[in-house]
Amino acid sequence: MFYHPEESLQRSELDQLQTERLKAVVENARKSPFYAERLKGFDTREISTPADIVKLPFTTKDDLRSQYPYGLLTRPLDEFVRLHASSGTTGSPTAIFYTQKDIDTWADLMARSMHTAGIRKSDVLQNMSGYGLFTGGLGIHNGSERLGCLTIPAGAGNTRRQIKLIRDFNVTVLHIIPSFALYFAQKVREEGFDPKDMPWRIALIGAEPHTEETRQRIEELMHIKAYNSYGLSEMNGPGVAFECTEQSGMHVWEDAYIPEIIDPVTGEHVAEGEIGELVMTTLRRDGMPIIRYRTRDLTRFIPGECACGRKHRRIDRIAGRADDMLIVKGVNIYPMQIEQVLMSMPEVGQNYLIELFHEGFMDQIRIKVEIKDQFFVEDMRALQNLQKSIASRLCSEILVTPRVELVMHDSIPKAEGKAVRVVDLRDKE
C-alpha cells in the first residue's frame, strides 16, 4: 500500500523521529555562518518534543536574501551538485543549494508523493512544466524517474505538440499548472479531440494557488482525476505535501518536515483547524537546512485522520498568501475568494483579471471576466443581467461591490507560466 516505510509510522513514532531529527538539524545548521550567529547559545537539550520548535527563531525570505549566495551552506561548495534560484524580480534573489544526498532525498519524497496519488511504474508521465531554475520541472521529473515511470520532459507551452505526445505515447499522467490545464482542455477540443478519448487518467496540479471549484472544473473538462500538491524551493520544491487518493487534504511528509500554522501578525500558533501562515522546517536536508521558515502561504491543518491510514498531518489547499491580501475600501480581500465565486458559475470561462485602480480619492476593484461563447450573446439585457448576477455573487463573498466587465472568451492575455490574476494600476495613474 505504501511506497516508503515512514509513511506507515504512528503519531508517537513520528513525534519521536521529529524530535531526534530536529536536534540533528540544529547542530548541522550551526555549521552555516547565518545559523551559527542566529542559534548562538541555544542548547539542543531544550528539545524534548517537536513542540519545542517554538524555542527556535523564525527564518524569513529577507534572511535568505541577506545571506545570498552562500551564507546558509553547511558544507564546502564543492560538495554541492545543483542550485535553484528565484528570479529576484521582487528584490534580491534567493539561492537554494543541494548536495547529491539532498537530490536523492527530494527524488524519494517526490516518488512517494506520486505513488500516494495512485501513480505506478507502468504509467507514462508528461511533464508540462517549465524546467530551469524553477523547481517544479526537475523536481517532478526526478521523482517520476525514481518511481520508474516513462517520463516525457515536454516543458511548457506548444499545445499541439503536447497533444501529439500524449496521443502518440499514451500518456496517462500529466503535470500541469491549474490555469494552463483549463486552457489546455479548451484547446484539446478545438483541435478536434474529445477529452474522454484521451489516454490520461491523472493530473498533478500545483505551483499556483487554486480553489476546489477550479479543481472540479479541471476534472470535468478533462475527464481526469486532479491531485493537488504543495511545494516551495526553500523546502526543496514539489513533494512537501501531496493529496492521496482520498483527495481530502495534502499530507505533509512529517519525517522530512515539521509544519506549523501561526498567526501572521503575532507569530503564535493558531487553534487546530484555523487558517494561518504555514511555517516549515527541513529535517532531511543536509547541505542547506532551514529552520522555521515563514512561507507566507495561508492554510490550515485539517483535523482528524485521513481514511487512507497515514498519520502524517494534512494541510488544506493554499488559500492565498499573507502578502497577497488586497485592501479595498477598508475590506481585506484575497484573490482566491474571487476565483471561488467565478469558477462556480457555469457561464464563466477559464480566465479572469482583477484590476485595482483609483477613482477620485477612492480605491476601486474591477474584474474582467471571460464569458463562454454560448453566453456571450447580442441580447444586451441578458448580458446586463449576467453582469449584475456576477457582481452580486462577488459582493456577497468579498463585501465590496466590484465593477464587473464581461469580455469575450480567450480575450484576456495569458502569461507564460503562472497566471497573472491581479494588476495594480494605482501606482501607474
Q: What does the alpha-carbon distance between residue 291 and residue 280 come to, in Å, rounded to a whole number?
A: 7
Q: What is the CATH number of the domain that holds 97?
A: 3.40.50.12780
Same domain, 360 and 289: no
| Residue corresponding to grid cell 517549465 | 130
Please report the pLDDT score of residue 90 as a whole number: 47
- The last residue of a domain, from among 290, 323, 356: 323
| Residue corresponding to grid cell 491510514 | 309
Band (pLDDT 50/70/90 cuts) for residue 428 is low
pLDDT, mean of residues 101-120: 98
Residue 15 predicted with pLDDT over 50:
yes
Band (pLDDT 50/70/90 cuts) for residue 213 is very high
- The last residue of a domain, from among 305, 323, 341: 323
CB neighbours of 160 closer than 8 A, spacing ≥ 6? Answer: 191
Same domain, 159 and 267: yes
What is the pTM (predicted TM-score) of this model? Answer: 0.83
Backbone φ, ψ for residue 203 (5° rounding): -120, 130
- The last residue of a domain, from among 295, 323, 351: 323
Same domain, 317 and 330: no
Least confident window among 219-228, 270-279, 325-334 = 325-334
- Give the residue among 135, 128, 84 at the shortest CA–CA distance from 109: 135
Pairwise pLDDT comparison (221 vs 130), residue with the higher score: 221
pLDDT, mean of residues 5-24: 97
Residue 361 predicted with pLDDT over 70:
no
Residue 337 predicted with pLDDT over 90:
no
Q: What does the alpha-carbon distance between residue 314 and residue 263 come to, in Å, rounded to a whole number?
A: 18
Pairwise pLDDT comparison (59 vs 94), residue with the higher score: 59
Please report the pLDDT score of residue 427 as a whole number: 65
Domain that holds residue 318: 1-323
pLDDT, mean of residues 169-174: 98
**Count of domains observed in the chain:** 2
pLDDT, mean of residues 249-270: 97
Contact predicate 178/210, CB 8 Å: yes
Band (pLDDT 50/70/90 cuts) for residue 89 is very low
| Average pLDDT, rounded, for the chain | 92
Band (pLDDT 50/70/90 cuts) for residue 410 is confident
Same domain, 383 and 337: yes
Q: What is the CATH number of the domain that holds 368?
A: 3.30.300.30
Same domain, 235 and 351: no
Please report the pLDDT score of residue 281 as a whole number: 98
pLDDT, mean of residues 373-382: 87
Same domain, 100 and 163: yes
Same domain, 167 and 34: yes
pLDDT, mean of residues 26-32: 98
pLDDT, mean of residues 12-33: 98
pLDDT, mean of residues 143-161: 95
SS3 186: helix
Q: Which pLDDT tens digit goes with each residue over 338-359?
A: 998 999 999 999 899 999 988 8
